[in-house]
Chains A and B, each alone.
Chain A
Amino acid sequence: MVQPLEDDRQYDVVIVGAGIAGAILAKQLLAKGRTVLMLEAGADHGQDWQTYREYLDKFYLSLAKTPNSPYPNLPTVPSPEVLDITPVRGTVPDTNGYFVQRGPMPFGSNYLRAYGGTTLHWLGTSLRMLPADFEMASRFGKGVDWPVGYTELRPYYEKAEWEIGVSAEAAEQTPQALGIRTSAASDNKAYFAKGYDYPMHALPTSYCDQYFEKRMQGLSISTSGQRDPGGVPEQDADIVEPKVANTPQGRNSIPRVFAKGAKIPVDLKNTPYKPRGATGAFAFMGQRCEGNTNCIPICPVQAKYNAMKTLADAEALGKSRAEKKFGGKGFATVKDDDIAKIFKVQTQSIASRVELDENNRISSIIYKRYAFPGVTQYELRRVRAKTYVLAGGAVENATLALASGLCQSSQELGRNLMDHPYMMAWGLAEHPIGPFRGPQSTAGIESFRDGKFRDQKAAFRLELGNTGWDFAAGAPYSNVSQLVEGENLFGPGLRRKLYDDVQRQVRIGILVEQLPKASNRVSIDPAYRDAMGEYRPVISYDVDDYSRAGLAMAHEICMTIFRRMGIRNHTSYDPSAAGYLTYDGNGYSVFGAGHLVGTHRMGTDRKTSVTDAGMRTHDHDNLWMVGCGSMPTIATSNPTLTLAALAFKAADAIEKALK
């Protein structure tokens, strides 16, 4: 092996990965006076308006507008791509894409290795977990408990909501308001701290959401397994009256004006909240959502939060500290090299190995720095710090740690990979409901996210879509092609039929929870490496009967909702689809939700978990692993908000350890 060149500068903290977790950690630690280096594998793009526009143009010109379509997919840093997902047959792994898929089911989720990470293409859904989600083992005998409870995480949720800029009304987001029959009555107490509210008002719910709300009225559903409660209100905790609820979203709406002297339990200096739009020079753009209907893959105006905003804050912090420390008086500006002494984001730098010293502490990180995006020539370098943080996402954290032989005492590293198997139900409403307008989802049915049924089957949330059958059937492209090629329509007849067909398209997305399973895992294999010689993630994955039972119940509930609303069902699951599975004699198709969770879970016991509750690894006392991988269970909420809260928590723990 070539001897790596030594970086001459030492930092307090080295963070691997410039996504949301790394960005929050950097910002927090810089505010505490620490020096920080970030290693980002992706190329330095996106932060100025020119390169962001390039992303946008790439999206416009992409034939398949997948979540990663706007962004560079460099041979130097490949990202998983949904187009590469195919059924895994027999024992031969599927090596189509970046992932090596061992099956039995293909793992359908992706992420983005770039500056800003996967927040560049996230939807923005910012739900908190429910108290029961932290106690799956003790309440339901399923999975594991978290080493922290909801109450302990609550203040971090507040910080996360203000960092991301979440639009919602607290009063509408309590378990009770969401129509959840919580598994413990106490779950409804103090879900929000007294006086707390989100920084911005809720975004308007879509016309389609309102249509659901109106037409679902009076619906009651039994979760106990009896198919039809017969309309008779049973004295039964299993009866749920599903509610359509506005979804808390990480996108800009109208900032909340708090009463003078109101005690907001977060960053008081930041009230009233100033919405942050585009990074770079066009700062007046995107201070409010314009309804581009394109949160995934790319918000054209950055009204949706992305981690580049937090990274910009971190850079400003680094600069102002450097000015204080190195800047002369008056107008003398501080040199870039002086800023870099305090904070530096080094892109095009792929962390390759984490090295240990004789005390089992991390001594350095070896990384590959490539000079030109896409060209696989690199310089091997070594960087040293007091503390190291892996924040590259659940899969990349696991592969790097596995490649470095870290965290061996539990045997849990890389295991317990979870996602929300994502299934859809779609149909045609009686009336035009206005699809393809607004954020891709503005409301959901959260009422089935907890309940006594969780000892038998998985909980789930239903996401109401605002974009017709686009994910489900490729609308509206498929409609045009079908009407022109199949139905021989043209001219006004084509226009009429297009309107009538597409305007009535409704779609429900079902996100079901998964339990942690040792066999669902990320591993490495010397046979599979990328163009830079780095290990490709080898993934074994399946969906167990607990989740399948949840999917089956969710499907049945969607059918009931359609019947109640007079929606003609068009749902069909193709047995040849990559994510096809069966349960109880029925077939369903699932996709990945992009929620990659669980590969380095927290816990109190070093034999069954990789890190402690502060996300410090049990085995190496100067190494933290932070991100969705830290989550012991996945719950039913989209995980980004929880991951952001965990990043704030880890920042506190790191700061404490550094003192």
Chain B
Amino acid sequence: MTNDKNIDHDRAELGALLQKALMLELSTIPPYATACYSIKEQGQYDRSSPEIVNAEPIEVIRQVMVEEMLHMVLVANLMNAINCKPVVNDPKQLPSYPMRILDGKGPELRLRRFMPDQIKCFREVERAPKDPANDAHRDYETIGGFYLYVLGMLEKACAAHGERKIFIGDAARQFNSDDYYGAGGDVIAVHDLATARTAIREIMDEGEGAALGHSACDNDLIPAPKGEERWDIAHFFKFDEILHSRYYLPTDRLGEPPSGSDLVVDWTAVWPMKDDPKAADYASTPEIRELSDRFNRSYSELLDGLNAAFNGDKPALALIVPVMFSLKDQAQHLMRVPLPDTGYGTTAGPLWRYVPTTES
């Protein structure tokens, strides 16, 4: 009995940690997306000579976002594998910006347009732990450290109670590549410690880079003709390559500048979105508020759909694909609307607020 009680306690503790991981992954998406969507698309801002710039940073950030969504699915798989309930639409847990991640120990996330400071901030978010051995303890300061800690706790629980007693989740809730197919890494169904390790390792590799962040490579193959395949680059290095205007090669190491080809960035071809927009900014303009509310409703629909998908209703994941795409268009629309209160100098932006749906 005491053992049962212990295992329940350990499971709850693991569940709470993984729930935190889920929120952590989610919290990066609005800032990344906001920055990405604030970039004017190539060719659209100068009708006399369509310049093809900024297509590259858009694509680089887009790839990061796609993988962050994959990470959410992986964390949900981890939670479901140990019979814990992933929650994605609890307003109390959802991020609100500005915020410091990792209980205030990590870097600050804000909703800002595409600018060097914001990309530097993203780079910090994806930075590998300096001292993994130290970070694996409860006082982690990086996402990598946090995941090392989670993995350590999982291993401890398995050692104490046996793998079989820990991985008791319903296998039908696991997502595999037949249920979720995007780009970037693979979806890993989790059913034991080994697959759990693989999933956590994938999250870490894609974020901070292989070899605990010492290599730019993220261990995902870029689709290419046979013989031409090369490894993709981890998020930390992707943000760094935007700042350097130069691509990394997978063989590049931490601390060295990127050695690949040039990447063209135009920091000025960006909509002047107000930093960290608030609902109050739109209070005096009902028309803008309506656009903003529409965005928030779509965002909430996305979270509700994710929540359903992670809790047994797998087909819900396919249904929210169009919602994700529409968020981009809606965010871009908001970012083009000048704010009268600021003398038209800045524009509105998406708030990323969850509003519980009363009806569906």
Contacts and interface: CB of A to CB of B under 8 A. Distances in A.
A and B associate: yes
Interface of A: 49-50, 53-54, 57, 254-255, 257, 272, 274-277, 282-285, 287-288, 290, 312-313, 315-317, 319-320
B66 A319 contact: no
B210 to A, nearest CB: 18
A254 B63 contact: no
Contacts of B223: 274-277, 283-284, 287
Contacts of B178: 254, 257
A257 B177 contact: yes
Nearest to B184: A284
A315 B224 CA distance: 11
A288 B321 CA distance: 12
B92 interface: no
Given A255-B177, A284-B63, A290-B325, A53 B224 contact: no
Interface string B19-62: 00000000000000000000000110000001010010001000
Would you call the interface of chain B mostly helix, strand, loop, or mixed?
Answer: loop
Interface in B175-203: 176-178, 181-184
Of all A-B residue pairs in the complex, the 3 with the closest CB atoms, nearest first, are A316-B225, A320-B227, A284-B183
B318 to A, nearest CB: 9
B55 A288 contact: no
21 contacts: A49-B55, A53-B42, A53-B55, A54-B52, A254-B178, A254-B181, A255-B181, A257-B177, A274-B223, A275-B223, A277-B183, A283-B223, A283-B224, A284-B183, A284-B232, A285-B59, A312-B225, A313-B226, A316-B227, A319-B227, A320-B227
Residue from B50, B52, B227 whose CB has the most chain A CB atoms within 10 Å: B227
Contacts of A54: 52
A591 B9 CA distance: 72
A53 to B, nearest CB: 6
B48 to A, nearest CB: 12
Given A57-B43, A284-B183, A290-B325, 19 more contacts: A49-B55, A53-B42, A53-B43, A254-B181, A277-B183, A277-B223, A282-B59, A283-B222, A283-B224, A284-B66, A284-B223, A285-B59, A288-B182, A288-B183, A312-B228, A313-B226, A319-B227, A320-B226, A320-B227
Contacts of A276: 223
Nearest to B177: A257
B55 A287 contact: no
Nearest to A272: B177
Nearest to A312: B225
A82 B55 CA distance: 32
B177 A316 contact: no
A266 B183 CA distance: 24
B183 to A, nearest CB: 4
Interface residues of B, number: 24
Nearest to A58: B50
A275 B42 CA distance: 26
Contacts of B50: 57
A518 B62 CA distance: 55
Interface string B236-257: 0000000000000000000000
A54 B227 CA distance: 28
A499 B257 CA distance: 54
B181 A288 contact: yes
Given A254-B178, A315-B225, A317-B226, A287 B183 contact: yes
A165 to B, nearest CB: 11
Nearest to A252: B181
B180 to A, nearest CB: 9
A285 B176 CA distance: 21
Nearest to A254: B181
Contacts of B177: 255, 257, 272
Given A254-B178, A254-B181, A284 B228 contact: no
Contacts of A319: 227-228
Contact of B226 (A254, A284, A316): A316
A280 to B, nearest CB: 10
Interface in B160-181: 176-178, 181
Interface string B329-357: 00000000000000000000000000000
A284 B222 contact: yes
Interface in B95-120: none
Interface string B210-229: 00000000000011111110
Contacts of B222: 283-284
Contacts of A57: 43, 50
Contacts of A288: 181-183
Contacts of A317: 225-227
Contacts of A277: 183, 223
Nearest to A286: B183
Nearest to B220: A284
